């Protein structure tokens, strides 16, 4: 059988491949036909991720009873540590925050952040981290220049042989070009051009382009790059692309992606005007946080350590530990994974959402810090844990704030949608090739029809 697209999602724990055809109905609307999906354990530890990819394709072939071929192959990956980025700016709550938001939104894992002028020990840390990319920010446009130039000189002298993204004061551009002459450099718009203004989209796009050009060095990834016909994206960046497509279709949303190694939260919302007026620092409309210590397989021990009697009931932590599998199949394994998934969601959403605090001193009132999710209409679950385990919808419903007082959490009217075909990452990378088909794929998987938004209230 031949399909139009085969899209591989190479995760830290599992590799999933999705094959499908794109058709046109009688009303000239695109729809997805004959969707097949296969999975396998990711085989980084075997020295070649291609083994897991081929096993996942074989899984489809067993299901359909014949060999599979395709017209075009795309891919996303978070294997072997994902897209590791270090970020270096001027002020922690201004340029550093803006660059960090851009890196996370692009699907990166921020491994190091510095504010102000760097020191030699910072350079040693970068060597130890061995990042896939280095970001330099600093200074609003036509503002402070010295810090970004100083940091650029230090980084350039080390010859890290990694792509550098400069997204600081535009007055520095010509000097930055000279400093990194002969090295791989991307110069883009300032992520913090004016006080209290974030501009993360240009950086997000260029980070994904640089990722594709410098595909991460997981064993075998260089060979996968040779057989992929189209885009290769970091998996979290692809999920963010899908989140923004869905925002245009159904409005304000938050997406939770619980994986084997990490738990990601993607939100696309401006928040409420009331909270916006109270915010101490600006927040991006599209925001991603990644909990690198929270995962239901590779980092399961970290979640188990957070469990208490409310989570465990009559079970013991030792029981949970003995039933952790990359792909849970037995009743005990599934039960244990559900408990871990619920805790991962709880921890991740609480780290993503902001807080409202009362002012003290001469002025009465409140101030807000962080991301406001109070206007979110839909909580969406993706990733293997929330789409394949039996309690995904209930777990997500439980994060809503059901009282009537002011909050930055999703409220009691918020509905849950499950990415039942597990295709949000697939749709994100597909949008690079065919955005209309990506939207159709998302609508099909989340069971979104024309009445979904109208029925919210």
pLDDT tens-digit readout, 84-106: 899 999 999 888 999 999 988 88
Residue 430: its pLDDT value, please?
Answer: 96
* Residue 302: its H or E element: helix 300-306
83-213: in CATH 3.40.50.360: yes
CATH annotation of 2-80:
3.30.420.40
Place of tokens 């007026």: 277
Topology match between the domains 2-80 and 236-293+346-456: yes
Residue 451: its pLDDT value, please?
Answer: 62
Sequence spans of domains, the chain: 2-80, 83-213, 236-293+346-456
Residue 457: its pLDDT value, please?
Answer: 46
Which positions ≥6 away from 122 have C-beta within 8 Å?
88, 112, 114, 154
DSSP tag of 279: B
Residue 174: its pLDDT value, please?
Answer: 97
Q: How many other CB atoms are there within 10 angstroms of residue 366's CB atom?
A: 13
Q: How many other CB atoms are there within 10 angstroms of residue 436's CB atom?
A: 12
Phi, psi of 20 (to 5 degrees): -165, 165
If we measure between CA atoms, which residue out of 345, 330, 335, 328 comes closest to residue 313? Answer: 335
Residue 217: its pLDDT value, please?
Answer: 56
What superfamily in CATH does domain 236-293+346-456 come from? ATPase, nucleotide binding domain (3.30.420.40)
Question: Burial code of 88-106, b = ≥16 C-beta within 10 A, e = fewer?
Answer: bbbbeebbbbbbbbbbbbb
| Beta strands, E only, 79-208 | 83-89, 108-115, 133-136, 164-166, 185-187
Intervals of the chain under pLDDT 70 = 44-47, 79-82, 214-222, 361-363, 450-457
If we measure between CA atoms, which residue out of 225, 213, 297, 211 comes closest to residue 259? Answer: 297
Residue 134: its pLDDT value, please?
Answer: 96
pTM for the predicted model, two decimal places: 0.86
How far is C-alpha 349 from the chain's CA centre? 14
């Amino acid at each position: 059988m031949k399909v139009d697209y085969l899209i591989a999602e190479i995760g830290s724990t599992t590799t999933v491949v999705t094959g499908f055809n794109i058709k046109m109905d009688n009303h000239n609307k695109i729809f997805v036909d004959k969707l097949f999906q296969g999975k396998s354990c990711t085989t980084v530890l075997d020295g070649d991720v291609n083994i897991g990819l081929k096993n996942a394709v074989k899984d489809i072939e067993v299901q359909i009873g014949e060999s599979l071929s395709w017209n075009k192959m795309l891919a996303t990956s978070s294997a072997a540590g994902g897209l590791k980025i270090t970020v270096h700016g001027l002020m922690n709550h201004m340029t550093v925050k803006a660059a960090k938001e851009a890196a996370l939104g692009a699907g990166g894992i921020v491994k190091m952040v510095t504010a102000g002028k760097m020191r030699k020990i910072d350079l040693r840390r970068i060597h130890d981290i061995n990042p896939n990319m280095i970001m330099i920010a600093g200074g609003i446009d036509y503002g402070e220049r010295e810090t970004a130039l100083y940091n650029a000189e230090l980084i350039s002298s080390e010859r890290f042989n990694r792509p550098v993204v400069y997204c600081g004061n535009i007055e520095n551009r010509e000097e930055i070009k000279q400093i990194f002459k002969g090295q791989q450099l991307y110069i883009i718009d300032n992520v913090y051009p004016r006080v209290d203004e974030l501009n993360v989209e240009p950086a997000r796009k260029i980070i994904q382009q640089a990722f594709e050009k410098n595909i991460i060095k997981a064993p075998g990834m260089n060979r996968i790059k040779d057989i992929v016909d189209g885009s290769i994206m970091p998996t979290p960046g692809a999920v963010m692309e899908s989140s923004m497509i869905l925002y245009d279709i159904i409005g304000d949303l938050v997406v939770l992606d619980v994986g084997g190694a990490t738990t990601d939260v993607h939100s696309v919302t401006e928040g409420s005007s009331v909270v916006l007026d109270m915010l101490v620092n600006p927040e991006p409309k599209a925001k991603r946080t990644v909990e690198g210590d929270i995962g239901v397989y590779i980092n399961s021990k970290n979640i188990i350590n957070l469990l208490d009697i409310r989570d465990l009931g009559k079970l013991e932590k030792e029981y949970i530990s003995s039933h952790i599998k990359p792909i849970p199949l037995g009743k005990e394994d599934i039960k244990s994974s559900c408990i871990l998934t619920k805790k991962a969601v709880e921890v991740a959403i609480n780290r993503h959402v902001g807080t409202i605090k009362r002012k003290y001193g001469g002025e009465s009132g409140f101030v807000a810090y962080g991301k406001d999710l109070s206007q979110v209409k839909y909580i969406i679950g993706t990733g293997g844990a929330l789409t394949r385990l039996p309690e995904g919808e209930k777990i997500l419903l439980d994060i809503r704030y059901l009282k009537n007082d002011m909050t930055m959490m999703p409220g009691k009217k918020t509905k849950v949608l499950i990415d039942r075909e597990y295709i949000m990452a697939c749709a994100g990378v597909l949008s690079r090739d065919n955005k209309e088909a990506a939207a159709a794929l998302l609508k099909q998987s989340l069971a979104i029809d024309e009445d979904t938004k109208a029925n919210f209230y």
